[in-house]
Chains A and B, each alone.
Chain A
């Protein structure tokens, strides 16, 4: 049974049909990436998986159970955590408080402290700045905080929406290294990226979205060499 299975998903914002027929799946332990141009429906897909949007048609199965009617809180509790596009750091909360919010659904204080230690090991810069307000961090630090915050719920599946957006190339490399480490420690990852070359190089498998539909899927390394993909997304 796949960890996550999305079947023929259709989602609309009022009258605007954002996605119309997206299907993909993630096996436990994988990094899967969704690539596609602006407006292809990548963020909409993630918002639906997280329960912020309700699909008009289609299904999202997590560990075999449908979660399209499940509340976002339950979904976080069940083990899916999202690092949203644009990071959405709580600007007037400190770094520490932002991380605490990531652990909102958890009760055990000692375990939360352990997770926080692990997050600080992955992102030492966050520990140095823990009393600083989220809004005063640099873009790169905010991305790290967003990822750390997403890990605080100890997810089985981490949804990452454009983690490399607006970062300098060195930082992008650093972030992707961290993504690999997180995955190696047992968290499955659904990665949405504009930076297709980077995404394909870390992912196991990939899906290409075009105007709200999945149009291509395959092994990430194969897609990296696929002439159509190279032409459209790797310039």
Chain B
């Protein structure tokens, strides 16, 4: 009885927090629009969604890998960085154009992530989960510091040369660049392909089956190790493309550039419900928009943006650990 009352009042509290957040958000938006005019606000939303699309390309890899091996692959943000650098060398050194460069980045990242899985995670698959988590953090540091060596990518910021000239269009006061169009276009195309692979192809169905029950999948004759490799490969291809697009949008690259976007994408995946693909997408759009809104409108916003992101993470863990789309899942043995 007591437990029930406690549960009910907790639920009321949670709803009160939701209501307060919704109200605060609404009030904030109204205030912002009145202060700065709607154009400025719409511009921020567009830039935010654009950033969110790039986060989504990372977050999907986190969520798919988690769905199948229950591992947060913390090296995922660094795979994204390798994507950016690969395209940098292809474009600057070898004068490749945009499409081959992004395809090469996706390929290299795919190979890298599959190797990481084989070498670092597969041997620990039956070990306690904390072991693979710590290993993931180790792999992440390794990639960041190894590539920072002067004979690899080097320790400094490098200016990224865009593979095409920037064009800006003024649509009723809102500025839209061809970069935004390309980011949104490529991300949508990749998301649709991903959706097709997961829903319609044999390997995609095997991925979903394996995520649900590995022993049952084995009994069907599904090569579970192969499916796991494939999942890491898919996630890495998306992250690689994301790295290229991110470098084009923010043309300064560094071997540590994957850390923050990686963490933001992780927050986005948790916010959407870790393991859920639509969740990763929606969570990323929310995360990107929040990022830009904070920077554009909050006093000291550029210093607060990361703080706010982790505040969101903590709030999600406190209020609804399963996120927006996550099902309340019983821990599987």
Contacts and interface: CB of A to CB of B under 8 A. Distances in A.
Contact of B220 (A51, A71, A92, A149): A149
Given A50-B219, A72-B218, A104 B202 contact: yes
A137 interface: no
Nearest to B203: A104
A153 B221 contact: yes
B95 to A, nearest CB: 43
Nearest to A46: B219
Contact of B212 (A71, A82, A90, A153): A90
Given A100-B202, A104-B206, A93 B220 contact: no
B216 A73 contact: no
B209 A93 contact: yes
- Chain B CB within 10 Å — which of A88, A91, A97 has the most? A88
A81 B218 CA distance: 11
A133 B218 CA distance: 20
A197 B220 CA distance: 30
Contact of A102 (B215, B218, B220): B220
A90 B221 contact: no
- Chain A CB within 10 Å — which of B209, B219, B223 has the most? B219
A76 B209 CA distance: 16
Interface string B213-230: 101111111110000000
Contact of A104 (B208, B213, B221): B221
B205 interface: yes
A52 interface: yes
Contacts of B202: 100, 104
Contacts, number: 63
B223 A73 contact: yes
B213 to A, nearest CB: 5
A100 B221 contact: no
- Chain A CB within 10 Å — which of B212, B215, B216 has the most? B216
A84 interface: yes
B123 to A, nearest CB: 18
Contacts of A100: 202, 205
B215 A92 contact: no
State the majority secondary structure of interface residues on B.
helix
A91 B202 CA distance: 17
Q: How large is the interface on B (under 10, 10 to 19, 20 to 34, 35 or more residues)?
A: 10 to 19
- Chain A CB within 10 Å — which of B209, B218, B220, B223 has the most? B220
A101 B222 contact: yes
A52 B205 CA distance: 21
A105 interface: yes
B216 A84 contact: yes
A77 interface: yes
A105 B205 contact: no
A91 B209 CA distance: 9
Given A100-B202, A104-B202, A104-B206, A92 B221 contact: no
Nearest to B327: A92
Nearest to B212: A90
B221 A93 contact: no
Given A100-B202, A104-B202, A90 B219 contact: no
Nearest to A51: B218
Nearest to A50: B219
A105 B221 contact: yes
Interface string B2-24: 00000000000000000000000
A76 B219 contact: yes
Nearest to A83: B219
B221 A73 contact: yes
A101 B223 CA distance: 12
Given A100-B202, A101-B205, A84 B221 contact: no
A41 B202 CA distance: 34
B209 A73 contact: no
A88 B215 contact: yes
Interface in A126-167: 149, 153
Given A101-B217, A105-B221, A153-B220, 17 more contacts: A52-B215, A52-B219, A75-B221, A81-B219, A84-B215, A88-B213, A90-B209, A90-B212, A90-B213, A90-B216, A93-B205, A97-B205, A100-B202, A101-B220, A102-B220, A104-B220, A105-B220
Q: Name the 7 nearest CB pairs between A and B, nearest first.
A: A76-B221, A88-B216, A105-B221, A72-B218, A73-B221, A101-B220, A104-B220
Interface of A: 50-52, 71-73, 75-77, 81-82, 84, 88-93, 97, 100-102, 104-105, 149, 153
7 contacts: A50-B218, A84-B215, A84-B219, A88-B219, A90-B216, A97-B209, A101-B217
